[in-house]
Amino acid sequence: MRVLVVEDTAALAAQLREALAEAGFAVDHAADGEEAQFLGETEPYDAVVLDLGLPKLDGLSVLRRWRAGGQRMPVLILTARDSWSEKVAGLDAGADDYLAKPFAMAELVARLRALIRRAHGIASAEIVLGTLRIDTASQSVTQAGAPVKLTALEYGLLAYLAHHPGRPISKSELTEHLYAQDFDRDSNTLEVIVGRLRRKLGDGVIETLRGQGYRLVASPAG
C-alpha cells in the first residue's frame, strides 16, 4: 500500500516515513501544501497523513481541493492537542479520521490500516479467502492453517490483491501502489514476486488474466 505523508516539520516527517516504511507501506512525502495538492491529484495513494499547519497552502485547503476534485483516498489529519475546532473543521472538509499531537506511531499505523480496510469494505483486520488468511495487523499469512513466510514485497503484493478480491489488477496498478515515487520501478519484478507467491501459496490462488493482470481467488478447502 502506498501512502503520502504531508508534514513540514523535518524531524516528524522523518519519523513518520521510517515508521510507515517499517510497517510495510511505500511512502512519499510532501513538505508544503502546494506539493501535497499536486501529488494527491496525480498519484494513486491508498491513504494520506495530512498535517494542517503547512506552508504555501494550509492542510484544510488542500483537503477541500482534493475532495472537490474527486480524490477519494482516506485522509488522516494531524491536529494540535485539545484543538476540537481543528478536528471538526478537518472532518467537515472531508477527513476520514484524526490524531492529535503528540501521538504513538503504533496508533497512527493501526488507524491507517483500518482506514484502508474500510475504504475497501473490509471490516476485520483479518482477510479470509477460503483457506488463505491474511492478518493485516500483524502482517502474517497462513495457508490451510500453516504459516507462510513472505518478504515485504511479497506481502505487499498479496495484501493489495486481497483488498480487491476477485478484481483483475494490472501490472501498472500494482507497480503504482507497491513502490514510492522515488523508487526505481520495474514491472518485470512483479512477475518474479507472483511466481514466488504461487510456490508458497499453491496453484490457483493468484490467476493471470491475459491482458488484464492478476486476480486473487479463494483457495478451496480440503
Give the tens place of pLDDT for each residue, 153-188: 899 999 999 999 888 999 989 989 988 876 666 657
Report the predicted TM-score, pTM, of the whole model to 2 decimal places: 0.89
Listed by start position, the domains of the chain span 2-119, 126-216
- Per-residue pLDDT tens digits for 200-221: 998 889 999 888 999 998 765 5
Please give the Cα distance from 157 to 122 (Å, whole number). 17
Question: What is the predicted pLDDT for the residue at 190?
Answer: 86
Fold of 126-216: Arc Repressor Mutant, subunit A (1.10.10)
Which amino acid is it at 146?
A: A
Give domain 2-119's CATH superfamily.
Answer: Response regulator (3.40.50.2300)
Give the H or E element holding residue 103: none
Q: Over 90: is that where the pLDDT of 82 sits?
A: no
Q: Do domains 2-119 and 126-216 have the same CATH topology?
A: no
Q: What are the cell numbers at 178? A: 507497491
**3-class SS of residue 83:** coil
Omega before residue 102 within 30° of 0, cis:
yes
Question: What is the predicted pLDDT for the residue at 84?
Answer: 84
- Per-chain mean pLDDT for the chain: 91
CA-to-CA dists, residue 15 to 4, 23, 197, angstroms? 14, 12, 31
Q: How confident is the model at residue 222 (pLDDT cuts 50, 70, 90)?
A: very low
